[in-house]
Structure 1
Amino acid sequence: MKLVKSLLLGSAAGFAAVAGAQAADLPSRKAAPVEYVRVCSAYGAGFFYIPGTETCLRVGGRVRAEYTVGTRYGEGQDAYGTRSRGRLNVDARTATAYGTLRTFFRYELTVSSGFYAGTIGGNQGIIAPGQARNGQGGPGTASNLDLAFVQFGPITAGRAQSFFDFYANDFGFSTLRTADSRLNLLAYTATFGSGFSATVSLEDRNTGTGQRENGVVSPLGTAAVLGQDFPDVVASLRVDQGWGSAQLSGAITQRNISNTGPLFNASKDEMGFAIQGGVKINLPMLAAGDVLFLQAAYADGALGYLGWGGQFGSGRQTTAVAGNQLVINDFGVSAFGNTKSATGWSIVAAFRHFWTPQLRTEIYGSYSELSLGYTLAAQAVPGVVSRPLDPKEMILAGNLIWSPVSGLDIGLEVIYTRTELKQAVLAANNAGARPVLAAGGRLVKSDDAVAARFRIQRDF
């Protein structure tokens, strides 16, 4: 029995030795290293390293729900409007020997209806006396590549905020008459220390949002803007310090104008310019986060830099009615072929005050005046010689915004607008037509509007 037991134990030991030797001959497998996402703190909160690279990435966005009611100008028009907007931001940055390499893009999708349709920046407060407001604003979807640029050291290239802009509708739910445009540009920025910098930028206003180059008009014959020889040239000098910021900016634009009529047939180059100065003052002595903006601008042959587009007044236009639009042009040509530029100026003020860290108020407004030169009233009043309308406009707005948690805003805003014209115009009726005085029409020289908006917005 002892002999059998010894044989069994010896056999088991032998098998174990052989098995161990065979196992030692097999190739070993090591677990692949795990690439964890690392936080990148070099550029602020929310950035992380793209695995396997030294590039820091931040993905964010916004969702906005908005509802508005306002002054109704005709029975065919809705007295309310709704809007939903989604925004995606992608920001990638890499530290290099030449400075930070940054790429950024922002894409938006918006669905609007009612009073938002056809308005300037969705702002039904901007009005024009006698303007036709006709037709319900059905739902419409708009897509917008708002920003898409590369920054490498001092170079900025792509679609970016104009370097002319300072207060670019930073506060509020509505728009003011101020320079605020994203467009295609190529810019060089030099920094001098202590927060001082200077920028020279070539900017294509034809790709801008809101303030494109305005047209040209002639009381006789046909006037048109032909091709440009070069994009707008913008220069700015800026300082950013603990007390706030200040900027002085200027722009030069060139237009080739053709003019054809019974007394003339010629084309010529015309130059326009704009200049703007602004200051932003931090007011921590009132409350943390309090800010005051003050800004003034002047333009000659470049009214887009004041925030004036090719027409003023909001609402749906009735194109079937001749002379229905009240137009804004940068240049006018007389019956003798003489060219005269339109000029204008504007002032802007905006104030933000925090009542508590979660409750704030924004009060802002603008006032502007235009002198339109040879641009006559778009529709004549019987018995009255047409003159330039030369509008004067005041916009005032205020809101109260509650932020119960970080990134969430719930607010209510009221906006008031008043516009005055140099010459009375025929008022449009509910159908959008402008009946003459003999047919029961009436004249209007000034008008005002009141609107309110409720907004819920989440930024992340």
Structure 2
Amino acid sequence: MKLVKSLLLGSAAGFAAVAGAQAADLPSRKAAPVEYVRVCSTYGAGFFYIPGTQTCLRVGGRIRAEYLVQETFDGVGLDTSDGYGFRARGRLNIDARTATAYGTLRTFIRFEMTVSNGSYGQGVNSTGPQFVAVRGGAGGTVSNLDKGFVQFGPVTAGRAQSFFDFYADTHNYGPIRGSDMTSNLLAYTATFGSGFSATISLEDRSERQVVGNFVTGGQTYPDIVGSLNLTQGWGSAQLSGAVFERNGQLGQGFVGGASDKTGYAIQGGVKINLPMLAAGDELWLQAAYTEGGISYLGYGGAGAGSTWGPNSNVGRLAFVNSDANVDVNGRTILTKGYALTAVLLHYWTPTIRQAVYGSYSELDYGRGVFVGGVANQDPKEFRIGSNLVWSPVSGLDIGVEVLYAKAEVKTRIQAAGRPLGVLIKSDDALSARLRIQRDF
């Protein structure tokens, strides 16, 4: 029996040794390395490294629900406007940045989709038919590439905020005057230190021009925009200018060519931080003047990048916006105008803030000029509003706004939506909005 045990144990040990030797000859399999997502703190919160690269990425967005209530002027002639409107807007932001020997390489995309109905895009305080078509007005879904550009060191190429703009509707809900334009452009920015920079930008004229009373000719060159900006701890200041062409071909109701004109716009703005009142408080002051480019004042625009439509509506008063006009002799006359904007933001508590804002503007179409068959509209407009916003948690805003507008023209014109013969010279309107917005 002892002999049998010894034979069995010896055989088992032999088999184990042989099996171990064979296993050692087999190729081994190692676990693949795990790519962990790393936080990228170079460009601020929310960025992370794309695994396997040195590119930092941030994905964000916004959902906005908004509700508008406005006057309808019932009982006076005809009125097809609604007293309320609903809007839903979604936004997706993708921001990718890579450090290079030439500076930061940045790619930014902002895509929006909007569905609006009711009083959005209609009269009273609205932004007019163009807003309906390209910015999500009454009826239907509108998609829009709001931003899409590449920045490589000092160069910005693609679709971005105009370098002329300064305040650009930062705090108001409803529209006040002042340039807020997204445009296709090619720009170069030089940075000199201590917060000082200078930019020269070639920007697409197609979305800036406001053709109300002339047929535009072919473009020779884009709008040439320049700006000087100073940003420091106390706030920021900017001086902007633009030079452009307005080449009319036919005046409304006239036959024959019209002369080409060179127009310009200039703007100065300052933002002052007011921490002595409360953390986050700030004051904005802005003034702009133009000859031939009223979109630089916030009066219209031909493309999706414009906050405004080509016409202006205040209550029953609707008037045509036009960069240039053609008189009875076929001469092109550039529209002159200016706009003043002021905004004060105050934090009552860290979660409750209020903005008070207003604008005043005037346009001069030129003596003897006809717009839509009516002489000398020369509108003057005043807008003032305020919103109160509660942010119960980070990224969530619940706000209400009241906005009042009053406008008048030099010559009485046909009231919008009224029977023939109902002429008015001035009107005003009141609107209110509720906005619930989540940014992430």
Q: TM-score if structure 2 supplies the norm length?
A: 0.91
Measure the CA separation in 1 of the matches of 2:196 and 2:383.
32
Measure the CA separation in 2 of the matches of 1:277 and 1:199.
15
Q: SS in structure 2 opposite 1:40?
A: coil
Equivalent residues in 2 for 1:80-99, closer than 5 Å: 80-99=84-103
Report the alpha carbon displacement of residue 25 of structure 1 after superposing the two structures with TM: 1.1
Measure the CA separation in 1 of the matches of 2:324 and 2:66.
38
What is the aligned partner in structure 1 of residue 437 from structure 2? Answer: 457
Change (3 A) 1:196 1:367: same
Of the three residues 444, 452, 459, the one matched with 2:424 is: 444
1:274 aligns with 2:259: no
1:29 aligns with 2:29: yes
Note the alpha carbon deviations across 1:256-315, whole angstroms, 9 max, x for none.
222479997334321110000000000111111001100000000111110112321179
Residues 365-374 or 144-153, more deviating: 365-374
What is the aligned partner in structure 1 of residue 370 from structure 2? Answer: 376
What is the aligned partner in structure 2 of residue 246 from structure 1? Answer: 237
What is the aligned partner in structure 1 of residue 121 from structure 2? Answer: 117
Measure the CA separation in 2 of the matches of 1:391 and 1:262.
22
Equivalent residues in 2 for 1:277-288, closer than 5 Å: 277-288=268-279
Measure the CA separation in 2 of the matches of 1:173 and 1:158.
27
Note the alpha carbon deviations across 1:55-110, whole angstroms, 9 max, x for none.
00000000001111111145432100000000000000000000000000100000
1:434 aligns with 2:419: yes
1:67·1:453 contact (CA, 8 Å) conserved in 2?
A: yes
1:395 aligns with 2:383: yes
What is the aligned partner in structure 2 of residue 4 from structure 1? Answer: 4
2:200·2:225 contact (CA, 8 Å) conserved in 1?
A: yes
What is the aligned partner in structure 2 of residue 229 from structure 1? Answer: 220
Report the alpha carbon displacement of residue 127 of structure 1 after superposing the two structures with TM: 8.2
| Identity within the alignment, % | 61
Amino acid at match of 1:226: G
Q: SS in structure 2 opposite 1:257?
A: strand
Of the three residues 200, 210, 216, the one matched with 1:214 is: 210
Change (3 A) 1:301 1:100: same
What is the aligned partner in structure 1 of residue 157 from structure 2? Answer: 157
1:100 aligns with 2:104: yes
1:407 aligns with 2:407: no
Measure the CA separation in 1 of the matches of 2:271 and 2:262.
31
Measure the CA separation in 1 of the matches of 2:11 and 2:430.
101
CA RMSD, aligned part only?
2.1
Note the alpha carbon deviations across 1:417-459, whole angstroms, 9 max, x for none.
001111122334xxx34322xxxxx331110100110111000
Of the three residues 70, 75, 81, the one matched with 1:77 is: 81
What is the aligned partner in structure 1 of residue 247 from structure 2? Answer: 256
Of the three residues 337, 350, 354, the one matched with 1:361 is: 354
Q: SS in structure 1 opposite 2:53?
A: coil
Change (3 A) 1:226 1:143: same
Q: SS in structure 2 opposite 1:52?
A: coil
Alignment: residue pair count: 418
Residues 261-270 or 226-235, more deviating: 261-270
1:164·1:250 contact (CA, 8 Å) conserved in 2?
A: yes
Measure the CA separation in 2 of the matches of 1:426 and 1:266.
29
Return 5+ residue gaps in structure 2 as ranges. Answer: 129-136, 301-309
Measure the CA separation in 1 of the matches of 2:412 and 2:330.
27
Change (3 A) 1:150 1:405: same
Residues 52-61 or 328-337, more deviating: 328-337
1:216·1:333 contact (CA, 8 Å) conserved in 2?
A: no
Change (3 A) 1:161 1:426: same
Q: SS in structure 2 opposite 1:312?
A: strand
Q: SS in structure 1 opposite 2:168?
A: coil
Report the alpha carbon displacement of residue 387 of structure 1 after superposing the two structures with TM: 2.6
Amino acid at match of 1:447: D
Equivalent residues in 2 for 1:183-194, closer than 5 Å: 183-194=183-194
Equivalent residues in 2 for 1:135-146, closer than 5 Å: 139-146=139-146
Change (3 A) 1:286 1:325: closer
2:251·2:325 contact (CA, 8 Å) conserved in 1?
A: no
Measure the CA separation in 2 of the matches of 1:366 and 1:118.
21
Measure the CA separation in 1 of the matches of 2:122 and 2:38.
46
Runs of 4+ with >4 A deviation: 260-264
Measure the CA separation in 1 of the matches of 2:66 and 2:252.
49
2:246·2:324 contact (CA, 8 Å) conserved in 1?
A: no
Q: SS in structure 1 opposite 2:426?
A: strand
Measure the CA separation in 1 of the matches of 2:252 and 2:243.
29
Q: SS in structure 2 opposite 1:19?
A: helix
